Amino acid sequence: MVGRQPGTKQVHAGELDPRAFHAPVRALRNAETLADAEAALAAISGLLAMPRLVWTPDVASPLQEPGAEAFMRRQGWADDVIAAMWEDGVPLRMPVHIRCRFEHTPFAITLYDEHRKRRAPYKGVQKRVADMIAALGFNSLLIVPVHLPRARVAMLGWCGPQMLDEAETLLAAAAPDLLAAGHYFAALFDRLSGRDPVREEERARLTQREWDCLRLTAQGYREADVAEMNGIAATTVRYHLDNAVAKFGARNRAHAAAIAAQLGLVGKLS
């Protein structure tokens, strides 16, 4: 069993007054800088006794966004953990990211299988990421899926030493405030990171799956790789890419990827 982090006090739901979250959530709503927002999030972390935050601006993007990387580093995540979280299209395959696409309210997950007294089962690079997080003394996460315009879904989460039943009890007391916190932080992050409404409008021409396939193709992945990362057939990948080509009025896939890159919609090409 993974132990609790030194100096972390366990908080029971009976000891947690839901009204205690109101002040930091208001501070987050009124925040004008990331420093102010992160101070408010840290106050929520203290109330939950879940000391480490995670943030993903787009759970369907395989690209590592510099602003999110900097946020994670300020939260104390080591560079190797941050790199692993975005390695080889991990965001597209991590169960928690996939779940965020379908869930609209906060939920708790565990890195520890309490019934079998072992780590929860993950595979490949997903297991590597889970093991790296668990090795830091974290057993569970409270996850806030943030559904945004244009079918984008962000994810804000708190990592802590609690077992799943403890995390779920905390969630029952704090869920409404955590959901509000997620939306307030996402709005501020987008505003300060300079997301361009014109680019967002262009992005909306494609479905989420079409973007998933096009962005990975622009990164040099083969059809088979894109299919595996998205959990779909190669023929389905071809279908989505053909749609993207048609919607952009492009000559071929490479041309569609180039158009998207020129619009700044697929990130830095490697």
Choose the weakest-confidence range: 120-124, 134-138, 211-215. Answer: 120-124
Choose the weakest-confidence range: 83-87, 109-113, 180-184, 262-266. Answer: 262-266
Residue-level pLDDT at 255: 81
3 state SS of 161 = coil
- Domains, the chain, in order of start with CATH, read 13-193 (3.30.450.80), 197-262 (1.10.10.10)
Radius of gyration of the chain (CA): 19
Round to whole Å and give the CA distance between 254 and 270.
14
3 state SS of 54 = strand
Task: Provide mean pLDDT across the span 144-151.
Answer: 85
Choose the weakest-confidence range: 38-42, 59-63, 106-110, 133-137. Answer: 59-63
In terms of pLDDT, which residue wins out, 16 or 67? 67
Side chain identity, residue 174: A
Note the residue count of the chain. 270
Task: Provide mean pLDDT across the span 1-27.
Answer: 66
Q: ∠ at Cα 130 (127, 168), nearest 5°?
A: 130
Round to whole Å and give the CA distance between 45 and 124.
30
**Measuring CA to CA, which residue among 61, 60, 56, 57 is closest to residue 266?**
61
Q: Which residues pair with 239 in a beta bridge?
A: none
Task: Check pLDDT > 50 for residue 269.
Answer: no
Task: Check pLDDT > 70 for residue 157.
Answer: yes
Task: Check pLDDT > 90 for residue 244.
Answer: no
